Structure 1
Amino acid sequence: MGSTKELLFLGWLCMLGKCLSDCGPGFDDQCEDINECLDKPCGKYSNCSNTNGSYYCQCIDGFRNRLGKVNFTLDGQCIDIHECFDFDNICGPNANCTNLIGAYNCTCHFGYTNSSSHGNCTDINECSEAEDKKWDLCGEKGTCKNTNGSYWCKCSKGYTNYGNERTPCSKLDCDSYNGDGESAPSLGGLADILFMMRNSCLALSNPSAAGEGKTDGEALLEKLFTATETILSPGHLDSSEDVSGLLETVENAIMLIGPQLKHNRNKIETTETDAQIAVQRGETQPVGPVHLTSENATLDTDWATAAGTGPYPGFALAALLSYKNLEQSVNRSFHELTGLDKDGVKPSSFNISSKVVSVVVSNPSTQNLSKEVTITLRHLKVVNESSEASYVCAYWNEKGAWSTDGCRQQKSNDTHTVCTCGHLSSFAVLMALYPMKYSFGLQLLTKMGLTISLLCLILCILTFKFCRSIQGTRTTIHLHLCICLFVADLIFLAGISRTQPEGGCKFVAAMLHYFFLGVFTWMLLEGVQLYRMVVLVFNATIRPLYLYVTGYGTPLVVIIISAITRPSGYGTDQYCWLSLDNGLIWSFYGPVCFIIVLNIFFFIVTVWKLAQKFTSLNPDLSNLHKIKAFTVTAIAQMCILGLMWVFGAFLFNEGAIVEAYIFTILNSLQGALVFIMHCLLSKQVREEYAHFLACVCTTQKKRYSDLSSINPSSSSQSQVSIKWPHSRSQKQGSRSGQHTGESQI
Structure 2
Amino acid sequence: MSYCSLSLLLGSLFIIGTLSYPAGSCDGYTALDEPRRNYLFTSSSIPGYPINTDVQRTNIWSESETPTTGYACGNVGGCCNYYVDIQVIYCSSGGFYVYKQVNNHPINYMGYVTYHRNCVAGSCGPLAECSTTKNGGCECVSGYKIPPTHLPTNESYGCQDINECAETANLCGPHSNCTNLPGAYNCSCLEGFAPSDPALALNPSRNPCTDVNECVEIEKVCGGFGVCTNTPGNYTCTCYKGYKPDGPFNCQDIDECADTPGLCGLHSVCTNAPGTFHCSCVEGYFSSTGVLWETDVTVCDSVDDIIASIVPPEGQSKEMYFLYQMNQQLRENPDIVLSEGSVTNSLSTALKVSGVGGISAQQASTGQVWSGAGKDGGESGSVVLKISELLVNALVDPSQGQVNKTIQTPELDISLQVIEANSTDTSSLSARGNTMDINLQALARNNNGTASAVFLTVSGMESLLGASFLQTENHTEMLSDVITATLPKINHTQLSEPVNFTMHHKRRLAEPGLMTCVYWKDRGVEYGNGTEGKMRHWSVDGCWVVFSDENYTVCSCSHLSTFALIMQTGETVSEDNPFLEWVNRMCVIVGLVFFALAILTFLLCSWNPKINNTARLHLCLCLFLSHLLLLLDYTYITHKLVCSIMAGLLHFLVVASFLWMLLEALQLYLLVQRLSRIQVIQRDGLQKKYLYLIGYGIPLVIVGVSAAVKQDGYGGTKVCWLKPEQYFTWAVLGPVCTVLALNWILFCVTIWSLRPTLANMKSDVSQSKDTRLIIFKILAQFVILGCTWVLGFFQSTMVFKYLFIVLNSQQGTFLYIVHCLFNKEVRDEYRKWLGCSSSSSTPDSMKGAPSVSEDLDKAGK
Range into which the TM-score falls when normalised by the shorter chain: 0.3 to 0.5
Structure 1 length normalisation: TM-score? 0.43
User: Radius of gyration: which is bigger?
Assistant: 2
Higher helix residue share: 1
Structure 2 length normalisation: TM-score? 0.38
Which structure ranks higher in relative contact order (CA pairs < 8 Å, sequence separation ≥ 6)?
Answer: 1
